[in-house]
Chains A and B, each alone.
Chain A
Amino acid sequence: MGVGVGSQLRRGVVEYCILGLISSQPMYGWQLAEQLQRVGLISSIGTLYPTLTRLRERGAIRVTESRQGVGPVRKYYAPTAKGEAELEHFRNDWSQFTHQVSVILAKEQP
């Protein structure tokens, strides 16, 4: 996979990966950045916040400030109903998309 294609693919799916991560439990910025960096979806925390801003601007996520245990007050991100619907839609599209791409690529192999 070329660097350009990989970068575009990552940029296209990272919003939905964030929605997927926070759909099970709200997460704060650093948690998200760590998980996304580990799988190579973002290169640094600087890439995370523009993506979170886009999600907030279109009403897909909400932010709440809370304290977990004895830790500090943090901003936690959670999906809105719209975000949940977007995620569900993407899940359906993604499985079809990956299946179709796999079929096409498989045909090209000798």
Chain B
Amino acid sequence: MNDSPKNSPVSAYLHDLDAQLVRVPEPVASQVREGIAEELHSLSPAVARQRMEQLGDPARIANEARRDSAVIEESLSPGLHLHAYIVVTASLIAVGGILVPVLGWVAGIVMLWLSHAWRPLEKIIATVTPLLFISVALVWQYVAVTPPLPSVSNSPGDQGFHAPTMSDFAGITPLLPPTWLFVALCVLNVAIAVWILRRGLIRSSR
């Protein structure tokens, strides 16, 4: 359809389809959605309405896609039960970075991207959000919280060049994140892990 306002019948149909496809694993769900959307968006409103009638109930389309996707999921995760995979992935994202700093979290993210249990957008959100948060927090910490550099002493005994001490750099280096940032990052990762776990388990449930 050339003009597709958000409240058009096509948008409503696609919205309904999206809701029904929640339980269909990736990449099938995205392909079904894209295939139907590209067809409906190419038609005039009147023809699109006929096409939607021809397509039928989104629930039926999603059910058939889910039924036929079972074979794909089994072949993509040989020897590893999908639910167990989802739980391990979410656990690594939540606490992997605490158990094995950085690498534990990275392992969880790698598992996330290797699986078809999550949609590309969910993978991007789970990966980018903590990185974005820590980047913004460190910039803010550096710009807003950093104390001014120690002023040069004018006392006669302190005059001349001297090596800086650690106290001169306290609060300056972003390589030493403060405790609040560490705690906030942990909470954020747990929240993302719970969301990822929920999305994965709902979709993988038959």
Q: A29 and B38: CB pair below 8 A?
A: yes
Q: What are the nearest 6 A-B pairs in CB distance?
A: A29-B35, A50-B68, A46-B64, A46-B61, A46-B65, A30-B39
A-B CB contacts (within 8 Å), total count: 66
Is A96 located at the chain interface by the 8 A CB criterion?
no
Q: B72 and A49: CB pair below 8 A?
A: no
Q: B65 and A71: CB pair below 8 A?
A: no
Segment from A17-25, A52-60, A78-86, A101-109 that makes contact with B: A52-60
For B35, B36, B65, which residue has the most chain A Cβ atoms within 10 angstroms? B35
Interface residues on A, range: 20 to 34
Interface residues of B (CB under 8 A from A): 27-28, 31-32, 34-36, 38-39, 41-42, 55-56, 60-65, 68-69, 71-72, 75-76
Is A100 located at the chain interface by the 8 A CB criterion?
no
Partner of A72, one of B31, B36, B38, B75: B38
Is A13 located at the chain interface by the 8 A CB criterion?
no
Question: How many Å from the CB of A72 to the closest CB on chain B?
Answer: 4
CA distance A73 to B34 in the complex (A): 11
CA distance A103 to B71 in the complex (A): 33
